[in-house]
Amino acid sequence: MQLSILIVNENTENLIENFLLELKQQSLALNTYEIIIANRYNNQSLKDSINSNLTLNGLNIKVLEVEHDLGFGAAINHAAQHVLGDTLLIINPAVHIPQRDYLVQLLKHAENIDHYGLMSTRVIDRYNQDISTHLLYEFNHDLGFENQINWFSRDLLLIKKTVFEQISGFDPDFYQYHEDQDLSLRIKLLQLPLIKLNDLEVRLNDSKPKPCLSYSFYQTWFKSKILFAYKHFTSYDYVRLLYQLELKSTKRSKIYSILCLTGITTFQHKKVKWTAIRDSIHKTINESAQWLYLKK
């Protein structure tokens, strides 16, 4: 089999069903690819929607139950253990593919280029911005890869199965954020290039559920940022960053606590954000970086 398409269900059953319907319209022969869905929430609604939609007949679909607390990267790793394809396409089900021969052209590029670590295309958001490609890692570091494509968004990643296995897939220590930066960096450290295909394009559907911008959200998000720095920055840069962030977050949480007295909602959100960041920094400094890791 040529291609394995990997998707994670994060309570996005409707998006997945629509995405599968679009796949059915692709010109790539149905017998050359499979779709493997890691079902993080162990709900029956995903299977029911797929089984009841006769239009999806002919697609080779596997739904794998995974634990909710595995995290996105670990869920993809689990799905990758069951693939038959030589090439993996990790994709966000909120993606809309207007070009009917998109998959054919994508695989043609992959065959012609051959030597690559990761490949992606243009991913256009609702503001008509391409969000696939990034030149800097967290905290505006290039980690020695100056003026290069340094990472691709997890919205669309094409990778050879052999390369994915060589790097042991996503780092499961990252729960929900920054695992794509980590994956891209580890591939670059193998001196495998990140290839951007500007002649191919998908669009990002904006109907995916938005995270609740709560204290818990900001803490989970920022823990992953600090974890990335802990894993990949020098010890000196990492410690310096922590103390810089401690000063900044303490100051801003105090400022927004005062501004909250105005009753303006924006200030309340910023207070929550900077309080979560401050607490994350304090916990990391006072305890250790071990609390940053995803605990099972």
Distance from chain centroid for Cα 120: 13
Q: What is the pLDDT along the chain (296 residues), one digit of tens a residue?
A: 799 999 999 888 899 999 999 999 999 999 999 999 999 876 788 888 888 888 889 999 999 988 767 889 999 999 999 999 999 999 999 999 999 999 999 999 999 998 999 999 999 999 999 999 999 999 999 999 999 999 999 999 999 999 999 999 999 999 889 999 999 999 999 999 999 999 999 999 876 556 667 999 999 999 999 999 999 999 999 999 999 999 999 999 999 999 999 989 999 999 999 999 999 999 999 988 888 886 54
What single-letter amino acid sits at 98? P
Tokens representing 184?
Answer: 């891209």
Distances (CA, A) of 53 to 7, 29, 56: 18, 20, 6
What pLDDT does 296 receive?
A: 45
Distance CA(175)–CA(226), nearest Å, equals: 13
Identify the CA nearest to 187 among candidates 163, 223, 221: 163
Distances (CA, A) of 276 to 209, 217, 238, 253, 279: 22, 9, 19, 9, 5
Distance CA(38)–CA(80), nearest Å, equals: 10
Homologous superfamily, domain 3-204? Spore Coat Polysaccharide Biosynthesis Protein SpsA; Chain A (3.90.550.10)
Phi, psi dihedral angles at 8 (to 5 degrees):
-110, 130
What pLDDT does 291 receive?
A: 85
Give residue limits of the domains in the chain: 3-204, 215-292
Distance CA(28)–CA(59), nearest Å, equals: 11
Q: How many CB atoms lie within 10 A of CB 110?
A: 21
End-to-end distance of the chain based on CA atoms, in angstroms? 34
Distance CA(65)–CA(48), nearest Å, equals: 14
